[in-house]
């Protein structure tokens, strides 16, 4: 064993420890949102802060730069080892570019701002949020500026890079400008066609939570979820978290409407399948991690939007829900489920948006957050800019800030640069699903029988087991034969919403 080989081993060992701490944090965070009694909140915040400091210390150890350089000079590394070093280096850059005091100040400002937002939103009181939001933004701008030099990009891109490594605004502008041209023309055509179809029959009733839960767990298994390595619980905001080989997903139930939770569970199951399919030999290493938030979102949307809203799957689903709830009739047929799940209705709230109008919500946020981080839009001017932009994109003016710029937690809680990954994920999902179905016509047929094995098999091979071996663009090209291509996404929307496929 040479000294240089030791440097690589030393890094693997350090990042394994980091992975264990992050796994522990994943369970503690899940517990906070599902199990923890309210009075434990302060203590839990302190526990989480302590583990984060320990993780950060592992990455800011002054010897690490030399160890990385030494390992990187090794000639005999395998492609996975080399990619692992690249990902280690990327993690190291993000951790070391920003002074610890700035990280802490930003974290504290975001916690305080989020607290204010929780009352400002229902009161539609943007003025009360403004000072705290301004501080959060200023600290995010400082973080972005600190990272920008090392990453050789703009401050906004540096923030974006933490969620979607390698993403740059030139690519996003091109994608979003394309969609911003397409959607205002496409939406009226969709609505026009929709008006010629019967209105979806309402699927009324009382749907006990325990029955919904059993159905959700059944659909998770149908989609390929391994219940030996994860579980489903309830939280206010659905998420997919937990730890390696221990994926915790959550949903919430409305006993007057099972349809929302059903799709929400399938969405989180898509995330979970990705986590459960990561490369077994690299689970505790950076190269074994999910590729980024855009690919992660694509995996949830492939299940929720591409597979589960397809006509074949709804043919499978309809008799299952009839049997589960002991109901029947026209509202409970596959065609009505399809009309229900593909109903387009422009509205103010992103999380309630349909597949067609969703990108407009994202484009607006992308443009605004980029302008704010770039110093081109003052937080005081956000509400007006929001409403102008919303009108331009969707033809509606939000009646108040609660249904406008106050609706999302992301900005108050410090999540700047995250929004674009939602629509990137939707575009990638369409492209991957298209490639998968071309490669294996059995995929769609399988969905009609509730058989996800062909689809998940393709995703396992081309996405899940690849971890972070390739950069996002290269992963997509390797899987589909071409780089990101919004035309496939547009075609998906046209087929579903104009052709009724």
Q: CB neighbours (10 Å) of residue 61?
A: 12
Please tell me the distance from the alpha carbon of residue 127 to that of residue 464, in angstroms, as a whole number.
44
The torsion region of residue 124 among left (phi > 0), alpha (psi -120 to 50) and beta comes to left
DSSP assigned state of 333: S
Pick out residues in 238-297 that bind a copy of itself (CB under 8 A): 243-246
Are 194 and 344 in contact, with CB atoms under 8 Å apart? yes
Name the minimum Å distance from CB 55 to a copy of itself: 10
Stretch that binds a copy of itself, among 31-39, 131-139, 194-202, 399-407 (CB under 8 A): 31-39
How many Å apart are CA 121 and CA 204, to the nearest integer?
30
Sheet holding 230-234, edge to edge: 230-234, 246-251, 240-243
Alpha-carbon gap, residue 359 to 365, rounded angstroms: 10
Binding residue (CB under 8 A) for a copy of itself from 1, 152, 228, 499: 228
Residue 279 C-beta: closest distance to a copy of itself, Å: 15
- Pick between residue 49 and residue 409 the one whose CB is nearest to a copy of itself: 49
In this chain, which stretch among 149-157, 209-217, 222-230, 318-326 interacts with a copy of itself, using CB under 8 A?
Answer: 222-230
Instruction: Verify binding: residue 491, a copy of itself, rule CB under 8 A.
Output: no
Among 14, 28, 205, 465, binds a copy of itself (CB under 8 A): 28
By CB under 8 A, tell whether 471 contacts a copy of itself.
Answer: no
Q: Does 230 bind a copy of itself (CB under 8 A)?
A: yes
* Residues taking part in catalysis: 268
> Residue-wise over 126-144: b if at least 16 C-beta within 10 A, else e?
beebbebbbbbbebbbbbb
Q: Which of residues 392-451 bind a copy of itself (CB under 8 A)?
A: none
Q: CB-based contacts of 280: which residues, under 8 Å, 6+ apart?
A: none
Span near a copy of itself by CB under 8 A; candidates 203-211, 227-235, 286-294, 377-385: 227-235
Q: 207-241 burial, b for 16+ CB within 10 Å, e for fewer?
A: beeebbbebbeebbebbbbeeeebbbeebeebbbb
Q: Is 20 in the site for a copy of itself (CB under 8 A)?
A: yes
Closest CA to 411 of 144, 136, 139: 136
Q: For a copy of itself, which is the closer residue by CB, 141 or 231?
A: 231
213 scored as a contact of a copy of itself (CB under 8 A): no
417 close to 156: Cβ distance less than 8 angstroms: yes
Question: How many residues bind to a copy of itself according to rule CB under 8 A?
Answer: 33
Using CB under 8 A, which of the segments 86-94, 206-214, 221-229, 360-368 binds a copy of itself?
Answer: 221-229
Q: In angstroms, rounded to a whole number, what is the distance separating the alpha carbons of residues 350 and 360?
A: 9
Give the shortest CB-243-to-a copy of itself separation in angstroms. 6
Would you say 19 or 67 has its CB closer to a copy of itself? 19
User: In what helix (H) or strand (E) does residue 78 lie, and over which residues does it extend?
Assistant: none
Residue (31 or 474) nearer to a copy of itself, CB: 31
Least CB distance from residue 50 to a copy of itself, whole Å? 4
Query: Which of 157, 275 has the CB closer to a copy of itself?
Result: 275
Site for a copy of itself in 295-314 (CB under 8 A): none
Q: Which stretch binds a copy of itself (CB under 8 A): 228-236, 255-263, 460-468, 481-489?
A: 228-236
Please say which residue, 38 or 76, places its beta carbon nearer to a copy of itself: 38
CB 491 within 8 A of CB 472: no
Q: Which residues bind a copy of itself (CB under 8 A)?
A: 17, 20-21, 23-24, 27-28, 31, 35-40, 42-44, 46-47, 49-51, 54, 226-231, 243-246
């Amino acid at each position: 064993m040479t000294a240089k080989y030791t440097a690589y081993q030393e890094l693997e060992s350090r990042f394994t420890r980091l992975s264990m701490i992050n796994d522990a944090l994943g369970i503690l965070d899940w517990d906070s949102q599902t199990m923890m009694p309210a009075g434990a909140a302060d203590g839990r915040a302190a526990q989480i802060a302590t583990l984060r400091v320990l993780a950060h210390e592992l990455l800011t150890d002054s010897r690490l730069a030399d160890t990385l350089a030494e390992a990187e000079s090794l000639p005999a590394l395998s492609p996975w080892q080399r990619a692992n070093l690249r990902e280690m280096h990327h993690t190291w850059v993000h951790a070391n570019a920003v002074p610890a005091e700035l990280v802490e100040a930003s974290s504290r400002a975001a916690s305080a701002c989020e607290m204010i937002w929780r009352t400002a939103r229902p009161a539609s009181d943007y003025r009360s949020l403004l000072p705290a939001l301004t501080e959060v933004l200023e600290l995010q701008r400082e973080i972005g500026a600190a990272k920008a030099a090392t990453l050789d990009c703009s401050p906004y891109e540096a923030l974006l890079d933490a969620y979607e490594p390698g993403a740059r605004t030139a690519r996003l502008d091109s994608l979003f400008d394309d969609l911003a041209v397409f959607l205002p023309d496409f939406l009226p055509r969709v609505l026009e066609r929709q008006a010629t179809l019967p209105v979806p029959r309402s699927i009324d009733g009382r749907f006990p939570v325990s029955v919904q839960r059993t159905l959700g767990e059944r659909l998770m298994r149908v989609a390929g979820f391994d219940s030996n390595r994860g579980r489903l619980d309830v939280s206010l905001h659905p998420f997919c978290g937990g730890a390696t080989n221990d994926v915790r997903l959550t949903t919430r139930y409305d006993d007057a409407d099972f349809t929302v939770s059903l799709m929400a569970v399938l969405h989180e199951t898509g995330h979970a399948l990705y986590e459960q399919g990561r490369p077994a030999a690299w689970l505790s290493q950076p190269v074994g991690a999910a590729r980024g938030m855009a690919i992660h979102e694509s995996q949830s949307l492939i299940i929720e939007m591409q597979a589960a809203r397809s006509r074949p799957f709804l043919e499978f689903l309809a008799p299952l829900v009839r049997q589960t709830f002991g109901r029947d009739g026209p509202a409970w047929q596959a065609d009505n489920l399809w009309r229900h799940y593909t109903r387009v209705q422009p509205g103010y709230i992103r999380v309630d948006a349909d597949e067609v109008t969703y990108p407009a919500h994202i484009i607006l946020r992308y443009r605004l957050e980029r302008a704010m981080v770039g110093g081109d839009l003052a937080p005081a001017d956000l509400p007006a800019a929001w409403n102008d932009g919303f009108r331009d994109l969707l033809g509606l003016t939000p009646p108040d800030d609660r249904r406008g710029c106050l609706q999302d937690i992301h900005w108050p809680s410090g999540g700047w640069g995250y929004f674009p990954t939602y629509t990137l994920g939707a575009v990638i999902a369409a492209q991957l699903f298209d490639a998968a179905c071309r490669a294996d016509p059995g995929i769609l047929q399988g969905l009609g029988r509730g058989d996800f094995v062909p689809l998940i098999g393709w995703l396992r091979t081309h996405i899940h087991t690849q971890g972070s071996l390739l950069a996002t663009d290269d992963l997509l090209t390797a899987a589909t034969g071409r780089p990101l291509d919004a035309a496939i996404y547009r075609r998906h929307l046209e087929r579903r919403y104009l052709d009724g496929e």
